[in-house]
Structure 1
Amino acid sequence: MYTITTQDLDLYYGDFLALKKVAIQIPDRNVTAMIGPSGCGKSTLLRCFNRMNDLIETVRIEGRIDIDNENVLDPKTDLIALRRKVGMVFQRPNVFDLSILENLRFGLKIHRRMGSRDEVMELIEWGLEHVGLWNDL
C-alpha cells in the first residue's frame, strides 16, 4: 500500500515549469528520502503534499496527488485537516506575521484546543515552560 502517490504532477511558477510529470509512490510505513542539488524541486514537491504552494499567487498545479487514497488537489479538500496530517519542518523557522501569542493561539486553533481565554493562556504558558522558553518572553 502507498501512503502518497503522484501522477503526471506538473507545477508552474507563472510560465516556468518547475516540476514536470512527477510520478512517485511512497510506501506506507517506510522511510523515504529525496536527495538532489539545491533548487531541483525537492521542497517544492514536499509543499505540494500539504498544499502550501497554494499560498504562492503565481503557482499552478496540474496532475494528481493522493494521500491515503484521497486526491488532495480536489478543491473540496479540507486544508486544515490535510495540514494536520501532513506537517512540515522547515530549515529556518517560519511563523506568521503575527505576535508570538497570536502564532501560538493559531496552533491551538487548528488543533481544536481553543477554550476560554484563561484556558488558552494556561496551555500557552505550559507549552512555553515545557520547552524552556517561558522565561525568555
Structure 2
Amino acid sequence: MDENTILSVRDLDLWYGPTQALKSVSVDIPEKQVTALIGPSGCGKSTFLKTLDRMNDLVPGIKITGSIQYRGQEIYDSKVDVTWLRKQIGMVFQKPNPFPMSIYDN
C-alpha cells in the first residue's frame, strides 16, 4: 500500500443472498484527492460505497469477502468500532439514509 493511500480494497466480493453484486473489486484510493466512480445505473457503485463505511452490515443476507483497509487497518475486523469508522469515512447521499437509531445518534 502506497503511503498516500487512505483506503485499499483487495478482491472484494459481495452477495445479496445468491446474487453476486460485486466481483473481485480492487482499488487504492489516495488521500486528499478526488476519486470518482462512474458507471451505468445498477453496476454496483452505491453498493461498493456502502461497503466502505459498513452500511451493508444493516442489510440481512449479505456476504462480503476480500479486504478493505482504512489507513492500514482492516475495517471488517471485529475489533473495529463501526461508529468510529463512520465518523472517519463520511458519506453524503442524494436522499437521507438514517441508521435505525435515534436522531441524535445519526
Provide the TM-score with structure 1 as the length reference: 0.71
Cα separation, 2, equivalents of 1:60 and 1:97: 20
Q: Is 2:89 aligned against 1:86? A: yes
Runs of 4+ residues over 4 Å off in structure 1: none
Cα separation, 1, equivalents of 2:40 and 2:8: 23
Deviation at 1:96, TM superposition (A): 4.8
Q: 1:96 to 1:46 in 2, by over 3 A?
A: closer
> What is the match of residue 72 of structure 2?
69
Q: 1:16 to 1:93 in 2, by over 3 A?
A: same
Q: Any gaps of 5 or more consecutive residues in structure 1?
A: 108-137
Deviation at 1:94, TM superposition (A): 2.4
The alignment of Structure 1 onto Structure 2 pairs a total of residues equal to 103
Cα separation, 2, equivalents of 1:96 and 1:81: 14
Query: Partner amino acid for 1:40?
Result: C
What is the correspondence of 1:30-49 to structure 2 with a 5 Å cutoff?
A: 30-49=33-52
> What is the match of residue 29 of structure 1?
32
User: For 1:54, what is the secondary structure of its paired residue?
Assistant: helix
Cα separation, 2, equivalents of 1:96 and 1:42: 20
Find the partner of 2:6 among 3, 7, 12: 3
Query: Partner amino acid for 1:10?
Result: D
Cα separation, 1, equivalents of 2:29 and 2:105: 30
Cα separation, 1, equivalents of 2:33 and 2:72: 17
Q: Any gaps of 5 or more consecutive residues in structure 2?
A: none
The CA RMSD over aligned residues, in Å, is 1.4
User: For 1:106, what is the secondary structure of its paired residue?
Assistant: coil
User: For 1:90, what is the secondary structure of its paired residue?
Assistant: coil
Cα separation, 2, equivalents of 1:12 and 1:20: 9
Q: Which has the higher contact order (CA 8 A, sep 6+)?
A: 2
Cα separation, 2, equivalents of 1:96 and 1:64: 24
Q: Highest Rg: 1 or 2?
A: 1
Query: Partner amino acid for 2:64?
Result: I
Identify, as 1 or 2, the structure richer in strand. 2
User: For 1:9, what is the secondary structure of its paired residue?
Assistant: strand
